[in-house]
Chains A and B, each alone.
Chain A
Amino acid sequence: MTPSTNTLDPHAHPHPTGLQHHFADMEQQADASKIGMWLFLVTEVLLFGGLFVGFALMQGRHHEAFLAAHHHLDRSLGILNTVVLLTSSWTMVMAVHSAQQGERKRLIVYLALTLVFACAFLGVKYLEYSHKFHEGLLPGKYYSHRGDTVPGQFMFFSFYFMMTGLHGLHIVAGMAAISWVLRRAMRGDFSGAYYTPVEIVGLYWHLVDMIWIYLFPLLYLIG
């Protein structure tokens, strides 16, 4: 009969483009993919949730130290990054919309723009991080900033670096996913009938943006 269909070889037998053999139709496949991504996003919320809870508890314990420490953060750069990420979410929405409409060129442009804004975000973060390293505002035992009137500020920076670092890793992962989708878009894999990967990468990207929306006020605007 047909050769083995349970391998990673996508050309094993004919199907509507992109329909995997175990799904009855494209709609079922798209629905399943979305359920899968939403479930994964729930895990991400809980992952970051742990850090948020830890931060809240330590802030409660060391209120003055956290207040003093957060003054070292550059609010304008934080606002800039927030705007950058929000814009990248908008370009992502436009990318999904373009895919839905079958507009390949626009899809590619919007995906590329999203990547550009993501790079910008990382660039600003690089500026912030290098400034912190220069000042000795480092996590935990590497904290070497001089002239603190309030002791214990290293704890704030422990959390600052853990939370923005983990978030940054997720930005990088998101960029990888967007690049993959971009490549597939350039290859012509998507159409109005099939663009699920764009949608689910979009969902992921929105979550990464959302996490920053919570991080920013928590770290930059307390007090």
Chain B
Amino acid sequence: MADAITVPSAAGGTAERRSYLNESRGLWSWLYTVDHKRIGVMYLWAVLSMFFLGGVFALLVRLELLTPKRTIMSAEQYNRAFTLHGAIMIFLFIIPSIPAALGNFVLPLMLGAKDVAFPRLNLASWYVYVLGSVFAVTAMITGGVDTGWTFYTPYSTTSASSVTTMTLAAFILGFSSIFTGVNFIATTHKLRAPGLTWYRMPLFVWGMYATSIIQILATPVLGITLLLIVMERVFSVGIFDARLGGDPVLFQHFFWFYSHPAVYIMILPGMAIISEIIPVFSRKTIFGYKAIAWSSVAIAFISFLVWGHHMFVSGQSRLAGAIFSFLTFLVAIPSAIKVFNWLTTMYKGSIEFKAPMMYAVMFLMLFGIGGLTGLFLGALATDVHLHDTYFVVAHFHYVMMGSTTIAFLGGLHYWWPKIFGRMYNEKLATVGAALVFVGFNATFLPQFVLGFRGMPRRYYNYLDQFQPLHAFSTFGSWILGLGLAVAALALVTSLRKKPDAPANPWGGRTLEWEASSPPITHNFEITPVVTHGPYDFYPEREH
């Protein structure tokens, strides 16, 4: 049944195709669904809404920074704006985005399964996410939070803002993340189709599996850390309070023990998507499959050993600093290996430069910058200068936005026909991608220079000498916003069309392309049997 290339069916279709989208109708059929695809779609709209909200805060922050002193808001408002931007983007957008919105949809299909292992737990995770966002929005409207998304003590335990509500929001959201991780691991172990051995699995699944390991091991530590903040605020338990014999730096250890692995919860799924797009759009088998697969697992484990690199100037011992620096450089190696493998996959490929591939190439460059600028921060001496400056802000935006979000957009374009049965508008998508690339670099490249020159982060007022770079960055943010709007248009306008997407518009060889676009509720009429690898584009030759 699986050909190397699927001939597109006649454009459109007169009758609406039977699929998971229309097999049952009405709001309740969605709110009570246990279909992983519907849950994925509900997550998609939820995280995109949060991305929009976080983005609004970002534009407000950048607008304030257009001039050295007050532009449109007070210092207290600014401190809330950047805190909420960070908290929303991290907890409500990036961490769930790829796993819960795309992973939920695609993973079971890729495994040839009918659903995830625990469909009801899946639905529960969505409701928990919604509950967490309600708490977060409540925190926003009851005075906001002004601690920075990192909640450092003693400031967070003494601030008058809605810290307790927001930390409870993050605590609740953590469960959503854990449930997703538990589901993916169990599904990967138990629900693979016949013939789908571990080394025949798409690399996207390996990436999601490694991500799930981190979600399970790291999130509970954040949970207890957040509870401890609440306990400090309500009972003054004393663990982080120097006046009571506690240690404020201990909070940082607890917090980063989760939050460093968390950034790998963010990047591994992005890398996983790139590992899918590049071979398909180069119509060439992935170079170094096992290296990429095991790199993901290696990154997952090493990620737990480097948290102290956020704390080189925190007062922790120099010896601890040295150990963390060494381990931080270690974790760079598997990431570098992946980049070289992806490039080698493209070498002598047959490349179709459509929107998903545009985003993948953007990822290579932006992740390149993001990862390389991490070297400045992993090296102890240079980190002392650059810590808590705009250099760090630029670095993490290159990896979180320039890499993960770009990969998310790439994946969204890639799987859009599968999810909604419609081809997005390629021209608009191209314009959107180009604007995003230009806008993103215009916004964040100057911030590296700001950091080199000593501009600290989380600053409402700044010295006049920094204005030209800040202004440039603000203009860049407008281009970026515009680009994202165009990209959204390219995708969303397709929903007005009748379903016109073939089952396999890109010629992929992974199982999701054997289901119809969009799939029926059960995913497959009959359970597929796998006889080839995920990136075997020339079956006559490969076997």
Partners in one complex: yes
Interface residues of A (CB under 8 A from B): 4-8, 20-23, 28, 31-32, 35-36, 39-40, 42-44, 46-51, 54, 57-58, 61-62, 65, 139-142, 152, 154-155, 158-159, 162, 166
Residue of B nearest to A36 (CB): B186
Interface magnitude class on chain B: 35 or more
B236 at the A/B interface (Cβ < 8 Å)? yes
Q: Would A8 and B34 count as touching, CB distance under 8 A?
A: yes
Residue of B nearest to A48 (CB): B224
Determine which residue in A4, A6, A8, A32 has the highest number of CB atoms from chain B within 10 A of its CB, and name it: A6
Determine which residue in B20, B190, B231, B521 has the highest number of CB atoms from chain A within 10 A of its CB, and name it: B190
Question: Which chain A residues lie closer than 8 Å to B218 at the CB level?
Answer: 46
Q: How far is the CA of A21 from the CA of B35 in the complex (A)?
A: 11
Question: Which chain B residues lie closer than 8 Å to A162 at the CB level?
Answer: 227-228, 231, 237
B348 at the A/B interface (Cβ < 8 Å)? no
Determine which residue in A20, A39, A57, A139 has the highest number of CB atoms from chain B within 10 A of its CB, and name it: A39
Q: Would A22 and B24 count as touching, CB distance under 8 A?
A: no
Query: What 1/0 flags go to B11-35 for Cβ under 8 Å of A?
Result: 0000000001001100001001111
Q: How far is the CA of A46 from the CA of B222 in the complex (A)?
A: 10
Complex interface: stretch among B111-119, B369-377, B491-499, B509-517:
B111-119
**Which residues of B in the span 173-215 have a Cβ within 8 Å of any Cβ on A?**
178, 181-183, 185-187, 189-191
Tell me the minimal C-beta distance from B303 to chain A in angstroms. Answer: 15
Q: Would B182 and A140 count as touching, CB distance under 8 A?
A: no
Q: How far is the CA of A115 from the CA of B23 in the complex (A)?
A: 44
Residue of B nearest to A51 (CB): B224
Q: How far is the CA of A139 from the CA of B235 in the complex (A)?
A: 7
A5 partner, pick from B116, B217, B522, beta carbons under 8 A: B522
Question: Which chain A residues lie closer than 8 Å to B220 at the CB level?
Answer: 43-44, 46-47, 49-50
Q: Would B190 and A28 count as touching, CB distance under 8 A?
A: yes
Q: Would B190 and A155 count as touching, CB distance under 8 A?
A: no
Tell me the minimal C-beta distance from B41 to chain A in angstroms. Answer: 13
Q: How far is the CA of A159 from the CA of B219 in the complex (A)?
A: 21
Question: Which chain A residues lie closer than 8 Å to B121 at the CB level?
Answer: 36
A-B contact list, 6 entries, CB within 8 Å: A42-B216, A46-B218, A46-B224, A49-B224, A50-B221, A155-B238
Q: Known contacts A39-B182, A44-B220, A155-B238; is A6 also within 8 Å of B228 by CB?
A: no
Q: Known contacts A7-B34, A57-B250, A158-B239; is A35 also within 8 Å of B225 by CB?
A: no
Q: Would B119 and A32 count as touching, CB distance under 8 A?
A: no
Complex interface: stretch among B60-68, B76-84, B241-249, B360-368:
B241-249
Determine which residue in A43, A51, A142, A159 has the highest number of CB atoms from chain B within 10 A of its CB, and name it: A43
B422 at the A/B interface (Cβ < 8 Å)? no
Q: Would B522 and A61 count as touching, CB distance under 8 A?
A: no
- Majority secondary structure of chain A interface residues (helix, strand, loop or mixed): helix
Q: How far is the CA of A4 from the CA of B190 in the complex (A)?
A: 24
B235 partner, pick from A32, A43, A158, beta carbons under 8 A: A158
Considering the complex of A and B, which 3 residue pairs feature the smallest CB-CB distances, nearest first? A50-B224, A158-B237, A140-B235
Question: Which chain B residues lie closer than 8 Å to A50 at the CB level?
Answer: 220-221, 223-225, 228, 254
Tell me the minimal C-beta distance from A36 to chain B in angstroms. Answer: 5
Question: Which chain A residues lie closer than 8 Å to B120 at the CB level?
Answer: 8
Question: Which chain A residues lie closer than 8 Å to B113 at the CB level?
Answer: 22
Question: Which chain A residues lie closer than 8 Å to B413 at the CB level?
Answer: none
A32 partner, pick from B33, B117, B246, beta carbons under 8 A: B117
Q: Would B115 and A7 count as touching, CB distance under 8 A?
A: no
Q: Would B216 and A6 count as touching, CB distance under 8 A?
A: no
Query: What 1/0 flags go to B378-418 for Cβ under 8 Å of A?
Result: 00000000000000000000000000000000000000000
B85 at the A/B interface (Cβ < 8 Å)? no
Q: Would B250 and A6 count as touching, CB distance under 8 A?
A: no
B284 at the A/B interface (Cβ < 8 Å)? no
Known contacts A32-B191, A35-B189; 20 additional CB pairs below 8 A are: A4-B23, A6-B20, A7-B34, A8-B34, A8-B120, A20-B119, A21-B115, A28-B190, A32-B187, A32-B189, A32-B190, A36-B121, A46-B217, A50-B224, A50-B225, A54-B250, A58-B238, A62-B245, A140-B237, A155-B238
Q: Known contacts A20-B119, A58-B246; is A36 also within 8 Å of B182 by CB?
A: yes
B470 at the A/B interface (Cβ < 8 Å)? no
Question: Which chain A residues lie closer than 8 Å to B283 at the CB level?
Answer: none
Question: Which chain A residues lie closer than 8 Å to B227 at the CB level?
Answer: 162, 166
A158 partner, pick from B238, B254, B522, beta carbons under 8 A: B238
Q: Would B117 and A36 count as touching, CB distance under 8 A?
A: yes
Q: Would B221 and A22 count as touching, CB distance under 8 A?
A: no
B186 partner, pick from A21, A39, A58, A152, beta carbons under 8 A: A39
B38 at the A/B interface (Cβ < 8 Å)? yes
**Which residues of B in the span 1-60 have a Cβ within 8 Å of any Cβ on A?**
20, 23-24, 29, 32-35, 38
Q: Would B246 and A7 count as touching, CB distance under 8 A?
A: no
Question: Which chain A residues lie closer than 8 Å to B20 at the CB level?
Answer: 6
Tell me the minimal C-beta distance from B29 to chain A in angstroms. Answer: 7
Q: How far is the CA of A128 from the CA of B24 in the complex (A)?
A: 55
Tell me the minimal C-beta distance from B234 to chain A in angstroms. Answer: 8
Q: Would A61 and B247 count as touching, CB distance under 8 A?
A: yes
Q: How far is the CA of A40 from the CA of B183 in the complex (A)?
A: 10
Q: Would B216 and A43 count as touching, CB distance under 8 A?
A: yes
Tell me the minimal C-beta distance from B539 to chain A in angstroms. Answer: 27
Q: Would B238 and A6 count as touching, CB distance under 8 A?
A: no
Q: Known contacts A46-B221, A61-B245; is A7 also within 8 Å of B182 by CB?
A: no
Q: Would B239 and A49 count as touching, CB distance under 8 A?
A: no
Q: Would B190 and A31 count as touching, CB distance under 8 A?
A: yes
Question: Which chain B residues lie closer than 8 Å to A48 at the CB level?
Answer: 224
Q: Would B34 and A58 count as touching, CB distance under 8 A?
A: no
Q: How far is the CA of A44 from the CA of B227 in the complex (A)?
A: 14
Q: How far is the CA of A23 from the CA of B245 in the complex (A)?
A: 54
Question: Which chain B residues lie closer than 8 Å to A154 at the CB level?
Answer: 238, 244
Question: Which chain A residues lie closer than 8 Å to B219 at the CB level?
Answer: 43
Q: How far is the CA of A139 from the CA of B178 in the complex (A)?
A: 30
Question: Which chain A residues lie closer than 8 Å to B238 at the CB level?
Answer: 58, 140, 154-155, 158
B245 partner, pick from A44, A141, A142, A152, beta carbons under 8 A: A152
